[in-house]
Chains A and B, each alone.
Chain A
Amino acid sequence: MKRIFLNSIFVLTTFWLFSCERTIDVKLDQGETLLAVDGWITDENKQQSIRLSTTAPYFQNGKPPAVTDAIVTLSDSDGNTEQLTHAGNGIYNINQIEGIVGNTYKLQIRWQGETYEAQTEITPNVPQIDSIVVKKEKRPNIPASKGEGYFLFYNGPENEGVGDNFRVKVYRNDSLMNRPDNIIIAEDQFVDGNYLSNLELNNGDPFRVGDKLKVEVLSITRDAFNFYNELILQTQNGGLFANPPSNVRTNILNINSKGKKAVGFFGGASVISMSGKVEGDGQVIK
């Protein structure tokens, strides 16, 4: 956060005039191909699935190569185990096991002679959204903004007890706002038990009148919070105070520690949401 602040201060100084950012050609090595896991189990009542793919050369654009021949098994702390069915394009559907708050889940993937495992849980302490307030604002000072627009502000209590971690997802017209700078994560270390009011949700990327909106708050594990924190750091790592580039953590572990590594994350979350339609300045969605 501090880094982003400092970088944006730099943007606001006159020195910005002398600086220049441009796309350059870089020849990169090609790394070995690793298994990439992108999977979530939540307490929502909908079809849930795990997506398996592989890493690709960095500049190889387009969808990542799907892994279609893995054996994927999911088990939970209630003693249930199921083998997920491949539904095409590397999507493995969860058919029986349900995401229940308080349960832990173990994912096992067997692929190309290696066995990978990941564990997560669905943490309780789900907060509550009281309201989303829509405000019309001018933002000439925020470089990412396109001037004027409608911004969403969150209001709701935070539960007592330090250790809650959240991700907030905002949907505009049914699509997840999903640029790297849209990812919002939060922890309660400094706000524990307080009423959270007036928190902007769309990071300078405004809505228009008539847009459908949906806000989801996911209660996630500390490990998932750290994963997103590193992902944010590494996907927007520019500016005057960049961090040394490094790999984002993973919780997908080869049971043979000398075996091939994997990347990605398997997480559990409990989800609450609120939806509405942007009508005008001062509108309160409850």
Chain B
Amino acid sequence: MRKIVYVCLLWIAIILQSFAQEKYTLSGKVKDASSGEELIGATVIIKSLKAGAVTNEYGFYSITVEKGSYELTISYVGFVDIVKKIDLQSNQTLDILLKPEGSEIETIEVVGQEDSPRQNVESTSMGTVQLEMKTLKKMPALLGEVDVLRSLQLTPGVSTVGEGAGGFNVRGGGVDQNLVLLDEAAVYNSSHLFGFFSVFNPDAVKDVKLIKGGIPAQYGGRLASVLDVRMKEGNNQKFTASGGVGTVSSRFAVEAPIIKDKSSFIVAGRRSYADVFLRAFGNENQRQNQLYFYDLTTKANYKINDKNKVYVSGYFGRDVFQFGDAFKINWGNATATVRWNKTFNPKLFANFSGIYSNYDYNLGVPTGTQSFDWASRIETFQGKADFSYFSSPKSIFNFGATALRYNFYPGSIKVGKGSIFNPFTLDRQNALETAIYIDHEHKVSTRLQLQYGLRYSWYNFLGKGTVYDYVGETGKRKTATNPRTFKSYQSIADYGNLEPRFSMRYQFDESSSFKASYNRTSQYIHLISSTTAASPTDVWSPTTNNIKPELADQVAAGYFRNFKNNTFEASAELYYKTMTNQIDYVDGALLLLNKQMEGDLLYGLGRSYGAEFYVKKNSGKLNGWLSYTLSKSERKIDGINNGEWYRAKYDRTHNLSLVLIYDLNEKWSFSSNFNYATGVATTFPNARYEMDGIIVPHNTGNVRNNYRVPAYHRFDLGATYHKKKTGRFEQEWVFSLYNVYGRKNPFTVYFRQEPAQDGQIQAPQNTQARELSIFASIIPSVTWNFKF
């Protein structure tokens, strides 16, 4: 390992020296002129040199070229491009302010807006979806709740196990195989209300990027994808407040400068209020109920000087349900991120982060003889350092290191006085995950660009605790043997993995390119969930002496092309992915509050492959996208489906989405979504037998996922009415019709005995197939938004 580090350092030193000519660096940040928000992914291009830079996650860019006079073109989607002349005779810092399209102060020369969409063809990144919040807010949404995750499900390669199920599945990966980051902090459960809504407050989100393939070396820890959600920094120009009153929840956000141009903050909150209605109109019993979710997102930044800037951000969200004295459950995430951006010199940008993240749930019965309180929690502390060295427009090095401490509290039961239950606690589990990486973005020629990197991750499962070996028949519950006890922080098992990452782009001409990528990813934590849809009570488990790290290898290739002067961007991608150490469960597995839970786990392989097609129109009155995915995801687990390959539960052969947004005039815009997907795979019985009068379904071949539920399709309509601004006060009404033709899309199909009639003691001998649809009718909603 040490050798690799030396080789890397040596290599950097050589490259650094080779650029010791008379060259100067232009660096700075690209920002939104109206709010001071740093823009991620804006391009700064010197046309005469065919050289340029793209801003990073903090809006920073750096270009090193020979001294001279240049014309810069700076552009970003949704903003007016600007052209700037510079005379570069020494290192120069230049912050660039871009004005949003449609803002009143549109006086600077407009050079068209063809530059940003060019990234589709020009960058090495593939398998990447970027969603603009502006677009998201116009799309029709379930009950008017603008939702990052639901919108992502309309893009290629992303599917779900069912409408309303928590999380999302990327290219055949499980919901736990997505690294969901909110300002770099991992979010361990991304759902509110069982999965109907996601935890991200749209008012506080600046940028959403999903990376499904060609994952750069800086990211690690999950197999399938990275969802990088970045929060707004807060307006550093003027005070603004915005909010909305919706069918399900209300939102309110305040952002303002603390010191103009230097420091600002944002606080955004959201709360649902179904329970308020219940309390007002419900009967006595309903008034004792509580059901709501809320979240609070906040961030502040302070620019110490041109070279140093700090950010502090946090998220806290909670779902609360209580039904009188009968039952209560609540769950939620909390994250905190502290970041320090440092520009060591115009070429070397660094960011240091300290990150905390927590997910926990409590459930139980509040009072009475059966009272108990069951809690489970995962908590992580992370330190991270990331460097970018902008050696020349042709060569950028990214390198860094991270250390992540996990505390798992799998479950404990506390009891009150008079309860029939005994208190119970599962041992806390500790783990350390560390990684170092280096990555090189290398423009070999105008046509060929490479990005290659290496990540080495090292994981250590730590004491204290008692661990076992498990013996027994494949596919059945195994018995724990050979107990061993470890002291605090004593290493129980450790694993290291080299993760090569590679992507390349070969550009045929201005508007078309070929890209290919390979990446290996490893994953050291696993969501233990035997239900089809992830539930809030699922528990994360570390990799242990028995549970091995999951590994995935993915190759992808694609053709990228822009049409009509970059008005349309299009891509076709093929991918093939294999996965090892995938986890499944024995029949009737007992996964919670079980000291020997590992005895109920099964392991095996996964593979998925598919083709993704994407056409997006960026500008004009009519914009939107068309997405189609043809794919297959399979699993092969010892003890399931007789050890043969079978379809994963979220396998959907076809998945088609069409999103259209039409801006009629300054007042009205209209939108629609259409989604069609093959029904999910499930197991149907082929026989029945009777046990003591109860009919039991049975599959005599013992197969898994041999059927599909009927296909899923849905059409939504939306309209936004912007009222004319009165003073500073802006308002808009958003109308949406979800599931316009009231399709009863199946969530699950299950088999049962016909239920007994009133007073009947024995259920009838007849059996039936039942289909559950979650959103089975047209769902209208109105949301009122304001801003001042």
Contacts and interface: CB of A to CB of B under 8 A. Distances in A.
A12 B289 contact: yes
Contacts of A18: 774-777, 779
Contacts of A26: 684, 707, 749, 769
Given A20-B773, A243-B530, A146 B753 contact: no
A18 B420 CA distance: 38
Nearest to B772: A21
Question: By DSSP majority rule, is chain B's interface helix, strand, loop, or mixed?
Answer: loop
Contact of B696 (A19, A191, A194, A231): A231
A155 B510 CA distance: 81
Given A34-B700, A179-B755, A241 B768 contact: no
A238 B276 CA distance: 29
A192 B532 CA distance: 32
Given A26-B684, A58-B686, A63-B765, A6 B537 contact: yes
Contacts of B329: 5-6, 9
Contacts of A32: 687, 700
A173 B587 CA distance: 36
A31 interface: yes
B770 A21 contact: yes
A41 to B, nearest CB: 14
Contacts of A244: 530, 532, 649, 682-683, 704-705
A245 B587 contact: no
Question: By DSSP majority rule, is chain A's interface helix, strand, loop, or mixed?
Answer: loop
Contacts of A229: 588
Interface stretch (A49-57, A107-115, A117-125): A49-57
A265 B700 contact: no
Given A14-B274, A60-B688, A180-B763, A240 B696 contact: no
Contacts of B165: 240
A240 B588 contact: no
Nearest to B535: A241
Interface stretch (B77-85, B254-262, B362-370): B362-370
B370 A198 contact: yes
A145 to B, nearest CB: 11
Contacts of A146: 758
Contacts of B531: 3, 241-243
Contacts of B667: none
A30 B755 CA distance: 24
Interface stretch (A71-79, A94-102, A246-254, A274-282): A246-254
B416 interface: no
A267 to B, nearest CB: 10
Interface in A16-66: 18-26, 28-34, 36, 38, 53-64
Nearest to B195: A240
Interface string B696-739: 11111110110100000000000000000000000000000000
Contacts of B685: 28, 31, 58, 245
B363, B533, B683, B685 interface centre (most CB from chain A within 10 Å):
B685
A36 B693 CA distance: 13
Interface in B130-181: 164-165
Contacts of B533: 240-242
Contact of B689 (A53, A59, A189, A197): A53
B691 A19 contact: no
B739 to A, nearest CB: 9
B588 A195 contact: no
Contacts of A268: none
A226 B588 contact: yes
A175 interface: yes
B420 A196 contact: yes
A243 to B, nearest CB: 6
Contacts of A261: 700, 702
A274 B130 CA distance: 67
A234 B696 contact: yes
A10 B769 CA distance: 21
A248 B696 contact: yes
A217 B370 CA distance: 19
Given A2-B537, A21-B773, A56 B687 contact: yes
Nearest to A195: B420
B766 interface: yes
B771 A28 contact: no
Given A19-B772, A64-B689, A245-B684, A235 B321 contact: no
Nearest to B753: A180
B614 interface: no
Interface string B664-688: 0000000000000000001111111
A178 B692 contact: yes
B748 A242 contact: yes
Given A18-B774, A176-B761, A230-B587, A194 B422 contact: yes
A25 B422 CA distance: 47
B193 A191 contact: no
Interface in A178-211: 178-180, 183, 189-199
Contacts of B407: none
B756 interface: yes
Nearest to B689: A36
Given A61-B765, A264-B689, A237 B750 contact: yes
B324 interface: yes
Contacts of A60: 688
A23 B682 contact: no
Contacts of A172: 761
B642 to A, nearest CB: 12
A254 to B, nearest CB: 13
Nearest to B681: A244
Interface in B190-212: 193-194, 196
Nearest to A54: B689
Nearest to B693: A178
Interface in A216-243: 226, 229-231, 233-243
Contacts of A238: 748, 750, 752, 770, 772
A14, A28, A32 interface centre (most CB from chain B within 10 Å):
A28
Nearest to A169: B692
Contact of A199 (B274, B420, B752, B774): B420
Contact of A22 (B704, B744, B761): B744
B294 to A, nearest CB: 16
B690 interface: yes
B498 interface: no
A161 interface: no
A62 B770 CA distance: 19
A24 B531 CA distance: 23
Contact of B420 (A6, A30, A197, A249): A197
B420 A57 contact: no
Contacts of B773: 19-22
A263 interface: yes
A241 B774 CA distance: 12
Nearest to B477: A226
Contacts of B481: none
B324 A141 contact: yes
Per CB-CB distance, the 5 closest pairs between chain A and chain B, nearest first, are A31-B700, A20-B776, A31-B686, A36-B689, A230-B588
Given A141-B323, A190-B372, 6 more contacts: A26-B749, A56-B688, A61-B765, A243-B532, A247-B587, A247-B699
Interface of A: 2-3, 5-6, 9-10, 12-15, 18-26, 28-34, 36, 38, 53-64, 140-141, 146, 172-173, 175-180, 183, 189-199, 226, 229-231, 233-249, 261, 263-265
26 contacts: A2-B537, A3-B535, A6-B194, A9-B321, A18-B774, A20-B772, A26-B769, A38-B692, A57-B688, A58-B688, A58-B767, A61-B765, A172-B761, A179-B694, A180-B753, A196-B420, A226-B588, A229-B588, A230-B587, A234-B697, A244-B683, A245-B751, A246-B683, A248-B587, A249-B588, A263-B696
Interface of B: 164-165, 193-194, 196, 274, 277, 283, 285, 289, 291, 321, 323-324, 326-327, 329, 363, 368-370, 372, 413, 420-422, 424, 530-533, 535-537, 587-588, 592-593, 649, 682-702, 704-705, 707, 744, 747-753, 755-756, 758, 761-763, 765-777, 779
